[in-house]
Amino acid sequence: MPTGKIIDFTFPTSTEVNKKENWRLTFTNTGDRGRVYAGIGNLQDNPNNLIIIYKGKNYVLPPGYIFYLYAEIDPGQYIADEGQVMFITEGNYMVRIEAGHLVGDRIEPDHIENILVEVRKPAAPPPEAPAPPTPGVPPGLTTPMWISIGLDAIGLAISIIGLALMLKRR
């Protein structure tokens, strides 16, 4: 009889609502040749659905459902796979990582790991930083305005360039 065993896994333990996080799962067959599986489960009492993103497709897992990966492999061979996970509601989720074997179409778990995942609301964006002060301008004053005025009277051209006006902020 085949026996599924988790060799290694990576899964987030803390994240934000609607943020995609990477997962990775490696499992093997420690028994006879046959069909083994690994799964990621959203346990029954969790706050809401979670979404497994695998090979470009989204799989919505309501509480009480498991996402399965199957393989028929010889003893000692292993399967490594990865994807992403996203939680849609804040709260604490107990996620089950399991491996096992199949007897006909019936799933028989052989190895189970539970992970507590804390899901928070997204952080508020940081406030905009104030504009840096303009060199040479005292605090509380706006930057200088340069005015060029051209006057033409009786054929004389008067030009005033570089008049700096300092205006106080209200």
- Domains of the chain (ranges; CATH) run 4-120 (2.60.40.10), 135-170 (no CATH)
Residue 165 has pLDDT above 80, yes or no: no
DSSP β-ladder status, 106-120 and 14-16: parallel
How much is the pTM?
0.71
Q: What is the pLDDT of residue 127?
A: 81
Residue 49 CA, chain-centre distance (Å), reads 16
Q: What is the pLDDT of residue 49?
A: 97
Q: Kindly state the average pLDDT of the residues 36-60.
A: 97
Between the alpha carbon of residue 115 and those of residues 3, 48, 167, the distances in Å are 22, 16, 61
- What is the percentage of the chain residues whose pLDDT exceeds 70? 77
Rg (CA), the chain: 32
Q: Kindly state the average pLDDT of the residues 106-118.
A: 96
What integer best gives the mean pLDDT of the chain? Answer: 83
Residue 148 has pLDDT above 70, yes or no: no
| Own/partner pairs, 146-149, CB within 8 angstroms, 24+ separation | none
Tokens 């504009």, residue located: 131
Q: How confident is the model at residue 164 (pLDDT cuts 50, 70, 90)?
A: very low
Residue 151 has pLDDT above 50, yes or no: no
Q: How confident is the model at residue 144 (pLDDT cuts 50, 70, 90)?
A: very low
Q: Kindly state the average pLDDT of the residues 118-135.
A: 80
